[in-house]
Chains A and B, each alone.
Chain A
Amino acid sequence: MTLSLLHQILDYSNRSNPYPLYEELRKTPVYREDGGPYVVSTYYEIRSLFHDPRISSDTRNRTGSAADPLGGDSHEEAALPPSFLKLDPPEHDRLRRMTNRPFGPPHSPHRVDGMRPELREIITGLIDGISDPSRFDLVEEVSYPFPVTVICRLLGVPREDEARFHVWADTLAASLDPDPDADSADRGKVANEARMQLGMYLAGLIEERRKNPGDDMLSQLATAKGEDGPMTTMELLSTAALLLIAGHETTVNLITNGMLTLLRHPDVLKRLRREPGLAVPLVEELLRYEPPVQLVPQRTTLAEIEIRGVTIPKGSPVWLVLAAGNRDPQRFKDPDRFDPDRPDVQHLGLGSGIHSCFGAPLARLETQFALSELARRLEKPRLIEDPPPYRQNAVLRGPRQLHIACDGIRP
């Protein structure tokens, strides 16, 4: 039996290159399989729905039991109240505004920019530490530890605890990456255990920060005195878990996808070595060409919505396939070409509207640093395996490993 289009997209064997399937999907801009979600794949329709107040991010607004090919919301924060990612205004606005206070303008315009020296130091250390330049896994040695270390420093996890923290984070990350061969009940138990330990650890840290606040985000969130007052401990735990998981699960793929794309486009890699400033437009094109979040699966209609001649009933799940919209030929000329000089690259890679990526300025800066330093320091890098093995996850898509060989590491 041939698999339906949606199942082909979710099928692991298509993970390394889902783009021909997305092209097929775009032929029906609002696509639906029996009883499944309404899948939107064209640029203008996705952008329009991102700004549509008839769309909720709170899955509690779903009616009936529409089959979810992703298997529903099994993981994440089950024991905690929903984070602002899964809330609507006004709760979303309040929590996001409070979280932004110690992170970005107008109250903290220098937070991300001020991390530049630290980012440079961390990435330099990781590249210095590459064990065997003739064969190494970029994910393990650079793309994973880099954003994880950064998010720990940002949140204010003490350095001596970073190792413990990484273990919990690894376990949670693995639980988001279902392995069909593993015993899922067993894995669920392990993940729950990790989540509980992480929660208890964070709760202790928050308590400690309330007494002795530092200039990290957790301290500032725990002691906030803005117009909205402080967050409750439960809200703070949800928010910290959100930042932590988002900090782990997205930037790692962006960096790995970036290096993979550069190794497949040696001319661009060579250019980046000569002109590090190219990293800025290059990362934007990368967010279009290989976005780390391929689709947004958790929106629900609050009213009947008509779009491209299709009427989506109230209470229906809607998927927005960013990665397909990013290659919509009606919006981008020659969409399957990776072109860092593209003049008008308003991609959907970081979303749009009120839920647009909270950590975007940090993710951009990290990836710019990582790719320009890798381009500068790796001598004659090449791919050992193409395509590389991918993670199971179809939503947060990226290589599980990226084995690279190079002739040496430049100072």
Chain B
Amino acid sequence: MGGDGTLDRLKRKGRIVVVGASLAGLRAAETLRDKGFAGSLTLVGDEPYEPYDRPPLSKGVLLGKASADRTALPRLRNVDAKWRLGVAATGLDMGARRVRLADGDEVPYDRLLIATGVRARPWPHEGEGALDGVIVLRTRDDSAALSRMLAAGPRRVLVIGAGFTGSEIASACRERGHHVTVAERAAAPLVGALGGVVGAVAAELQREHGVDLRTGVMVTALDGDAAGRVRSAQLSDGSSVRADVVIVSLGATRNTEWLYGSGLGAGPRGIACDAGCRAFDIRGIVTDDIYAAGDVARCPHPLFGYQFLTLEHWGNAVAQAEIAAHNMLSESVDRVPHMEVPSFWSSQFGINIKSVGVPSMGTEILITQGSLESRRFVGVYGYQGRVIGAVGFDSARWLPFYQEQIEAAAPFPPEFSTVDRRTDGQRPVDADFPDPSVPTHGPTVTLSGYAPDDRRMTFVPAH
């Protein structure tokens, strides 16, 4: 481009299309207007609703403290956009610069931002998944439906998968007084994201709060009654669980199928892009008019060996949206990279859990503050002699320090003393992550290798 006026024309009367009308899409649109984009702006979303916030859907909404239809995202400014809600994008013509929509329309663009996010991975057996009482939780509609099911007073709720979402749901159900069984393939909840040492604490928490937690088992089948209502689940250990609500919480699938065949570097692991959120095409050449942000984007991260990283984190969606919007409207020398350290929070069983960095890259863990036994601690993860991640249970206020340690590639194990160092904090132990070749149900950070056209990942459902 350079100073030939192209950028100026784009800003004045260009056409920008944002596919995906959730957190990343909305914040990108707001940033574009903030940066002076005066052209036409179109937001395409497959759900019929204006952008809403998802974290409350597995927390406050299930507890009846918030209503699923009252979680609209606050608007930071007027975006003056054409909204195409309730219509999914179905195809992309990179040559003609057009997005095809489910209703047959085609929307032309000069710049495209893809923020289509993820959807909940459905129960792999379609007939069983269609039973009344079987549900996933990702959208506002899911949350409203689940709230109605819980309000009907089920005798037992079964949660399949003890990642963050599954654990939060189990926590909310216990708080409402329902009987809850959680079935998890790994040895403990949260192991994919935080490893077995911390997972063991999560397991104790669940059991103390009255969850019937079954680990090391898979659900092999769901049975229905004559009326098509779910009645029970068969487990791989030969036992069965009677349940009238079954929540399938097996992680997420990236919404990239609509891009297959378009020539864009998009696959089951997301859309490969550079550190400035520009998408790669399938040849590994970076495009200059297509950007990706949020859960669907996989970007190389300098702090983590430049591996492509996919992050299902709220803060990441906001940060990438702002960076993509900025870069779209900037000359190449003014573009900025996405370098934020990943961070994530959850609340369950009365505990606030927060992590920074990429704990799942860690091989060892050291409890630097507090103790596992007290459920109030900071755990620091080490990888090849440096600090790579940290997690806090009810200790969020200390994590900015550990974030700085990660940014500085500080040595692991840390040698300094801290306040509240206990016997747990004397030496590092194996962080106990499962074999990475075995897919887990809910990691929120996925390290996905180096190749932009990497499509090898397959998820083998439990059967």
> Measuring CB to CB, which residues of chain A are less than 8 angstroms from any residue of chain B?
47-48, 51-56, 88-90, 93, 302-305, 352-354, 356
Compute how far the CA of A354 lies from the CA of B400 in the bound complex, rounded to whole angstroms: 12
B416 touches A304 (CB 8 A): yes
Q: In the complex, how many angstroms separate the beta carbon of B406 from the nearest chain A beta carbon?
A: 13
Residues in B whose Cβ lies below 8 Å from that of A47: 400
Of B368, B370, B376, B420, most A-chain CB atoms within 10 Å? B420
> Measuring CB to CB, which residues of chain B are less than 8 angstroms from any residue of chain A?
368-370, 374, 376, 378, 397-401, 404, 416-420
**Candidates A51, A54, A90, A302; contact of B376 at CB < 8 Å:** A90
Residues in B whose Cβ lies below 8 Å from that of A53: 368-369, 378, 398, 401, 418-420
Residues in A whose Cβ lies below 8 Å from that of B417: 54, 302-303
Residues in B whose Cβ lies below 8 Å from that of A93: 376
Residues in B whose Cβ lies below 8 Å from that of A89: 369-370, 376, 419-420
Q: In the complex, how many angstroms separate the beta carbon of B33 from the nearest chain A beta carbon?
A: 16
Residues in A whose Cβ lies below 8 Å from that of B369: 53, 89
The dominant DSSP class at the B interface is mixed
Of B368, B378, B418, most A-chain CB atoms within 10 Å? B418
Compute how far the CA of A305 lies from the CA of B374 in the bound complex, rounded to whole angstroms: 28
Residue of A nearest to B374 (CB): A90
Compute how far the CA of A262 lies from the CA of B378 in the bound complex, rounded to whole angstroms: 44
Q: In the complex, how many angstroms separate the beta carbon of B391 from the nearest chain A beta carbon?
A: 14
Q: In the complex, how many angstroms separate the beta carbon of B389 from the nearest chain A beta carbon?
A: 16
The dominant DSSP class at the A interface is loop
B401 touches A51 (CB 8 A): yes
**Candidates A302, A304, A356; contact of B418 at CB < 8 Å:** A302
Q: In the complex, how many angstroms separate the beta carbon of B31 from the nearest chain A beta carbon?
A: 14
B419 touches A48 (CB 8 A): no
A353 touches B397 (CB 8 A): yes
Q: Can you list 14 A-B pairs with a CB-CB distance of less than 8 A?
A: A47-B400, A52-B401, A53-B401, A53-B419, A54-B419, A88-B420, A90-B370, A90-B376, A302-B419, A303-B416, A303-B417, A352-B397, A353-B398, A354-B398
Residues in B whose Cβ lies below 8 Å from that of A304: 416
Compute how far the CA of A51 lies from the CA of B404 in the bound complex, rounded to whole angstroms: 10
A51 touches B419 (CB 8 A): no
Q: In the complex, how many angstroms separate the beta carbon of A299 from the nearest chain B beta carbon?
A: 11
Compute how far the CA of A94 lies from the CA of B418 in the bound complex, rounded to whole angstroms: 18
Q: In the complex, how many angstroms separate the beta carbon of A242 from the nearest chain B beta carbon?
A: 19
Compute how far the CA of A352 lies from the CA of B416 in the bound complex, rounded to whole angstroms: 22
Compute how far the CA of A51 lies from the CA of B392 in the bound complex, rounded to whole angstroms: 13
Of B400, B404, B418, B419, most A-chain CB atoms within 10 Å? B419
B400 touches A51 (CB 8 A): yes
B397 touches A51 (CB 8 A): yes
Nearest 8 pairs of A and B residues by beta carbon: A53-B418, A303-B416, A89-B420, A88-B419, A51-B400, A51-B401, A354-B397, A302-B417
Q: In the complex, how many angstroms separate the beta carbon of B331 from the nearest chain A beta carbon?
A: 24
A54 touches B416 (CB 8 A): yes
Q: In the complex, how many angstroms separate the beta carbon of A343 from the nearest chain B beta carbon?
A: 11
Q: A53-B368, A53-B369, A93-B376 are in contact. Are A48 and B418 (CB under 8 A)?
A: no
Compute how far the CA of A303 lies from the CA of B401 in the bound complex, rounded to whole angstroms: 14
Residues in A whose Cβ lies below 8 Å from that of B370: 89-90
Compute how far the CA of A302 lies from the CA of B415 in the bound complex, rounded to whole angstroms: 12
Supplied contacts A53-B418, A54-B417, 7 more A-B pairs, CB within 8 Å: A51-B401, A53-B398, A53-B419, A54-B418, A89-B376, A90-B370, A304-B416
Residues in B whose Cβ lies below 8 Å from that of A90: 370, 374, 376, 420
Compute how far the CA of A353 lies from the CA of B417 in the bound complex, rounded to whole angstroms: 18
Residues in A whose Cβ lies below 8 Å from that of B374: 90
**Candidates B399, B401, B416; contact of A48 at CB < 8 Å:** B401
A51 touches B398 (CB 8 A): yes
Q: In the complex, how many angstroms separate the beta carbon of A72 from the nearest chain B beta carbon?
A: 22
